[in-house]
Structure 1
Amino acid sequence: MMDKRDEKKCVDSLVIKTSRVFPIDTNNHNTLFGGKLMSYIDDVASISAAKHSRCDVVTASTDSVDFLVPIRTSESVSLESYVSSVGRSSIEVFVKVITEDLITGRRQLAATSFLTFVALNQEGKPVVVPNVVPESDEEVMLFNTAPQRVKVRKERREHSEAFANVVKL
């Protein structure tokens, strides 16, 4: 049961960014450098989180980035992000990366990613965010599978904290 918070639709946080892939953005395989794509992903996801919460947000976790196909210089790359789930002050954002061959028009899903942000007030303290209401089949599927990702995220965080206590500086 949802608590008595404001609600926003997933589409209200939709962000779309399209870029051409230039040779300067590629690696030694002549495909888009993964770090460049990860920067794009964090950028659009942070905008989606801020649109949903209408306050400052900070990246708490890049939960996953799954690279599915290489992205080449003959293609454009479009990133679509939106809020897929929320906690009390946490905001999960889904990002899909779509390539398009600019000559043939062929489109492919090139990558997917989940990131988590925390909404902050002006004093830098976490604030309650609106609930999210999924509508499309994709949004509903992501919303319904969010508890599994939250569980994995929490376990990974616990492992990271335990590891940090052992690592020598």
Structure 2
Amino acid sequence: MPCKRKLSPFETKLTTLFQVMPMHANPLGMLFGGVIEDWMIQVSNMEATRIAKRPTLLAGMDSIFFISPVLVGENANITAWVDYIGNTSIDVSLLVEAENPILNEKRLTTLAHMTYVAVGKDLRPVMLDACIEAKTKEEEEIYQDALKRRKNRENRIKDRKERALDSSPPRGLDDRFTITNYKVVMPEDAMALNTLFAGKLMRLLDESTALVGTRYARGPVVTASVDTTDFYSPVMVGETLIIYSTLTNIGKSSMEVIAKVVKRDEITGEEKHTTTSYFTLVHVGPTGRSEPIPEFKVTEDWQKEIIAESEKRRNERLEMLSSFKSNAEKFRQLMQKI
């Protein structure tokens, strides 16, 4: 479809504030990771839908690192903008800052990139009539960064149809630190077209992985990062969610926990893989600082294989983290100028 609406990234900017209340936070007064993920998806979904002028579904999101917490009494300041529009997809970026309303100060919390697909009533992708056209040097840089992320995502999801068929539970290091949750998707969990809202799902995943981390650490944990997450099939109202969460690596104070989601149609018995994500959780003490966790003793070769794969992911995260921080600060400076 030819482009009828030319938009620049800065023209699409949308800022939303959420006040952090005690019900949103852990006992240390820090905003739950699942809540901020939910809010980020709410804002990005609003942004994608108003640009698409039709319903949109979250197709994937890049790795998220939480740099600093948002505390009770502060505001989560979430700024979203569109940096790429494809034939049927919209890429939305988000900058999240912790805002102290009393001191009038802000600090960086995270940066996120999410991809949405515009759909019709049958949930099939529909063509968009808008496109992104950079008007400044800064916007062109944003656009080029989005093109790189888009290429990476295309390579990453080439086998998404095959992945959707894999409904087998993931294997963890120890069955004692494995949790399986079941939930029927109700109308209050859904958004447009009776599909499960992705923010609700991420909140459930954060809760289930935190349970695994807390069980192992024997103390409170916070979400430090969420790896790149792709969604293979939408979940409808009335279907059952099966959430597998299990421990896949243990560091000095941090743990990696995998969360795999399978949807089930209880009438036909059909199961499909919805998504899989890896959460990094950190054990914290009363002051909010990281504290050591018990050492895990490896006794089996298959456990060594699980840890070896996890170490590869950990190394990739460490490589990404420094560039993530500098990139987030760059976007933060840009948003302050407009």
Give the structure-2-normalised TM-score.
Answer: 0.43
Quote the Cα distance in structure 2 between the aligned partners of 1:47 and 1:161. 32
- Across the aligned residues of Structure 1 and Structure 2, the Cα RMSD in angstroms comes to 2.8
Corresponding residue number in structure 1 for 2:195: 31
Counting matched residue pairs gives: 162
SS at match of 1:73: coil
Output the amino acid matched with 2:336: K
Residues 74-93 of structure 1: per-residue CA shift (max 9 Å, x gap): 31001111222233222221
Q: Which moved more, 1:150-159 or 1:99-108?
A: 150-159
Output the amino acid matched with 1:146: R
Quote the Cα distance in structure 2 between the aligned partners of 1:120 and 1:150. 20
Quote the Cα distance in structure 1 between the aligned partners of 2:324 and 2:293. 24
Stretches of 4+ aligned residues off by more than 3 angstroms: 130-142, 161-167
Unaligned runs of 5+ in 1: 1-7
Q: CA deviation at 1:122?
A: 2.6
Q: Percent of aligned positions with the same letter in both sequences? A: 28
Quote the Cα distance in structure 2 between the aligned partners of 1:64 and 1:10. 24
Match among 290, 293, 310 for residue 129 of structure 1: 293
Output the amino acid matched with 1:70: P
Q: Which moved more, 1:121-130 or 1:96-105?
A: 121-130
Quote the Cα distance in structure 2 between the aligned partners of 1:75 and 1:159. 39
1:159 corresponds to 2:323: no
1:75 corresponds to 2:239: yes
Q: Check conservation: 1:49, 1:91, Cα contact below 8 A.
A: yes
Residues 103-130 of structure 1: per-residue CA shift (max 9 Å, x gap): 0111111111122221112332211223
CA 152–112 in structure 1, closer or farther in 2 if over 3 Å, else same: farther
Output the amino acid matched with 1:160: A
Q: 1:6-155, aligned counterparts within 5 Å?
A: 9-132=173-296, 133=298, 135=302, 139=306, 142-151=309-318, 153-154=320-321, 155=323
Unaligned runs of 5+ in 2: 1-171
Q: Which moved more, 1:111-120 or 1:96-105?
A: 111-120
SS at match of 1:29: helix
CA 57–158 in structure 1, closer or farther in 2 if over 3 Å, else same: farther
Higher strand share: 1
Output the amino acid matched with 1:151: L
Give the structure-1-normalised TM-score.
Answer: 0.79
CA 84–36 in structure 1, closer or farther in 2 if over 3 Å, else same: same
Quote the Cα distance in structure 2 between the aligned partners of 1:95 and 1:32. 17
